[in-house]
Structure 1
């Protein structure tokens, strides 16, 4: 009789700590490099309170993929712009610590050094197809790394709350709107 059990990789506490330390060092180095090289612009884009120029390519690639099926294709550009406005408003009202974490997430996703290995999108976000973005989202959602799962959940919540806080989204989900008083 053949043995059909699957050998599991041995992950001891020591190995887990090594992986965690290596990952932390990698992200800290990438963040420091971005800060020192000027890749991480801290000033918001004109017309926004928080969203920076470096955040827009990623967000403009992400939002249409997340809103697919909830927005008619002819209205997608308008929905993306409205979602960006709502997202900026929401980010501007986050606690300083949550805002810092969100900006760090956007930095990691915008920087080529970290974008490729973490997302699988090796080129710029402007050149990423909707399928590439969907693969990235699935990769993070189903990752064995908790930090990537949390990143996926954060992105999903930010975009969905920003879209569904807008009156033009309510008809799609059957919400008649707030009662008139």
Structure 2
């Protein structure tokens, strides 16, 4: 009975999370889709899961979260970011279908102009979203008392991190020589 006496979750947290979740579900399932009036850049990526608007979302998130790790040369930077997006796409393509459906709904929700304006301060395309505002918002989500926002932050951050460190194009920018250097080593 000692467990029942402890407050594991407050009533306020339940109400806040429930309200945010209800709004999220309503907007994503009521046919409220991101408008295609925003021009998405055709990156020429052969993604199996992400559509062009999802590619733009993760390209912008990766650029904001990884800006200190990215090369200064714009062509090299674009190459690395495209590889990150393709890594994220392959990761998302391999997860179970029910999780994919939830992630598609989240991407659609974040691509709604009004939502993007309210959350990130820009209702236009992702490339025009201010990096500092994006980082500030994500940092607020990281420490939010609303579990749904924390979960979204850690999902987005982990996908960008996986996409970046998984690609060999980014290794030279962080000083990692690749797995070949360890082939001759014995452990133990």
Structure-2-length-normalised TM-score: 0.74
Out of 26, 36, 46, the residue aligned to residue 23 of structure 2 is 26
CA distance in 2, matches of 1:138, 1:150: 12
Q: Mark the CA change 1:139 to 1:116 in structure 2 (over 3 Å): closer, same or farther.
A: farther
For each residue in 1:19-72, what CA deviation from the matched residue of structure 2 results, as whole angstroms up to 9, or x when unmatched? 344323211210123xx355489xxx9722010122233222211111112121
8 Å contact kept, 1:121–1:136: no
Q: How far 1:12 sits from its partner (Å)?
A: 6.1
CA distance in 1, matches of 2:167, 2:45: 22
Q: How far 1:128 sits from its partner (Å)?
A: 0.8
Unaligned runs of 5+ in 1: 1-10
8 Å contact kept, 2:71–2:173: no
Q: Mark the CA change 1:31 to 1:163 in structure 2 (over 3 Å): closer, same or farther.
A: same
Q: Mark the CA change 1:120 to 1:176 in structure 2 (over 3 Å): closer, same or farther.
A: closer
Q: How far 1:82 sits from its partner (Å)?
A: 1.0
CA distance in 2, matches of 1:123, 1:161: 28
Ranges of 4+ aligned residues in structure 1 off by more than 6 Å: none
Q: Mark the CA change 1:177 to 1:17 in structure 2 (over 3 Å): closer, same or farther.
A: closer
Pair 1:140 & 2:141 matched: yes
CA distance in 2, matches of 1:94, 1:148: 21
Q: Mark the CA change 1:149 to 1:19 in structure 2 (over 3 Å): closer, same or farther.
A: closer
8 Å contact kept, 1:116–1:122: yes
Q: How many residues align?
A: 164
8 Å contact kept, 1:141–1:149: yes
SS in 2 for 1:123: coil
CA distance in 2, matches of 1:157, 1:46: 21
8 Å contact kept, 1:109–1:115: yes
Structure-1-length-normalised TM-score: 0.77
Match of 2:65 in 1: 66
